[in-house]
Chain A
Amino acid sequence: MARLITSLFAASDEQTMWRVKMYDDSQAFARLVARWEKPIQRLCARMTGDPHRAEDLTQTAFARVFARRANWEPSGRFSTFLWRIALNLCYDDLRQTQRRGECSLDGLEEESSAGGEHFVADEPSPHAQADARERGELVREALLRLPPLYREVVVLRHYEALKFHEIAEVLEIPEGTAKSRMAEALTQLHRLLKHVNEEITCNHKKRTLEPLAL
């Protein structure tokens, strides 16, 4: 109840951004960063497949928001402005990675072994944890093999729970196109997951990894 009352009187993102734009209000900017840091980090991590790079990209995204505060139109939603900036940075990063010839799937093993303690889990057994991690890596790998055009829709709709009309606004495409891309993405993912699942099963025949329920 108290939270509801607080949220009723709290300034909207647009009001806060207005203060940043007009008065260079650093406190207002700090509030925006606090509200949006996690979603932007998640977006960048899902788009690049690398949580560490996502932290850098998030930092750059907020620095860019501040640098471009004059370009922000109060008639538009702040979140749309922010998602666009972050997505553009992700695209730049993906292009650079491609140019350097790095495979975005590099570090898969390292991350799956080193980042174990950070995974959000309900304290299952170590074996179940290992299985969950491997299944997660399968999905990660499959998602990274999706063209970014489809991946961004999946990330925004499935992981960040934006409505299709909001995705359409961010990507500046018709709502029907956003939905069609989502359908195409899920279809391709089904095939990719099956493929990756088979690859992993061939490589680890001796392991009794529970396959994804496809």
Chain B
Amino acid sequence: MQSQETNTRTTGALKHPDAAEWMAFLYAEVGPERRRELEDHLGHCADCSAQMDTWRASSKGLDEWRLPVMRRTSSPARLASRPWWPALKLAAAALVLGLGFALGRQTSPNAAEWAALKTSVAQLTGAMQQERGAALSNNVNIATAAANAETLRLLAEYSQLQESQRASDQQNLGVALRSFETRLGRLRAELETVALNTENGFEQTHENFSRLASFSAPLKNDN
């Protein structure tokens, strides 16, 4: 592979522009002033001029390849949607597999055996279902009886508990009544004591008043 000079060459007093600059010149990407300088250089430099002719010829040759008119690829909506080809591939694979399987089954020499096998499988399935039904009802009966027994036991326990609760309540009530009666008797005795004391007090007062009256009578007689 021939490599191009990428730096500016100098031959004698002449400074050669590099390949990159010539490309910018060839594709009209240099300013007007630089373009004039490069054109002047080409007029004076046989090397650069020959090189430039080669590049121009290649560039012109490229225009010979014209593309056919191409059609629109697809609707943008389809492009924006999810890629469909993996799904299509899977679907095609599944279809081929299914067709192959069906074809294989149909063309198999053991078709009668297949049918017999299918019947026996169906019978076996029916028997198993019946058995399962019977086992299921038996289990339900056992479970119901156990639940009933448990309920009865719980009810008996509850009534016993209620009874004992009631007896203890009655006991407590009797004790409380007795204590109340005792306290009532004591209160009555105390009240009687108070009444007696009060009566004594009244009698004492009365006696005192009488004595006081007897003391005051002689004093009146003296005056």
Contacts and interface: CB of A to CB of B under 8 A. Distances in A.
Interface of A: 24, 26, 29-30, 32-34, 37-38, 41-42, 45-46, 51, 54-56, 58-59, 62-63, 66, 115, 118-121, 132, 135-140, 142-143, 154, 157-159, 163-164, 176, 179-180, 182-184, 186-191, 193, 212-214
B76 A26 contact: yes
Contacts of B79: 29, 33, 59, 62-63, 66
B62 A132 contact: no
B46 interface: no
Contacts, number: 138
Interface string B192-214: 00000000000000000000000
B99 to A, nearest CB: 28
A187 B2 contact: yes
Given A30-B76, A59-B74, A62-B79, A51 B67 contact: yes
> Which A-B residue pairs are the 9 nearest by beta carbons?
A118-B68, A179-B20, A183-B19, A30-B76, A139-B65, A186-B58, A179-B23, A59-B73, A33-B76
B108 to A, nearest CB: 38
Most A Cβ at <10 Å: residue of B29, B74, B80: B80
A54 B68 CA distance: 11
B59 A212 contact: no
A62 B76 CA distance: 8
B123 to A, nearest CB: 55
B158 interface: no
Contacts of A157: 27
B3 interface: yes
Contacts of B65: 46, 136-137, 139-140, 143
13 contacts: A29-B76, A29-B80, A45-B70, A51-B67, A143-B62, A143-B65, A154-B62, A164-B27, A179-B21, A183-B4, A183-B20, A184-B2, A189-B58
Contacts of B151: none
Contacts of B2: 184, 187-188, 191
Interface of B: 1-4, 6, 19-24, 27, 29, 54-55, 57-62, 64-77, 79-80, 83
A115 B68 contact: yes
A42 B67 contact: yes
For the residues of A in contact with B, the DSSP-based class is helix
A46 B68 CA distance: 11
A179 B19 contact: yes
Contacts of A24: 80
B59 A158 contact: yes
A202 to B, nearest CB: 19
Given A179-B23, A186-B55, A187-B2, A30 B77 contact: yes
Given A62-B79, A183-B55, A186-B55, 9 more contacts: A37-B73, A59-B79, A62-B74, A63-B80, A66-B80, A120-B68, A139-B61, A164-B23, A180-B20
Q: Which of B1, B19, B57, B62 has the most CB of A within 10 A?
A: B62
A132 B64 contact: yes
B54 A158 contact: no
Contacts of A56: 73
Contacts of A163: 29
Contact of B57 (A120, A176, A214): A214
A180 B4 contact: yes
A59 B78 CA distance: 9
Q: Which of A46, A55, A164, A180 gathers the greatest number of chain B CB atoms within 10 Å?
A: A180
Contacts of B60: 213
Contacts of A180: 4, 6, 19-20, 23
Contacts of A191: 2
A186 B54 contact: yes
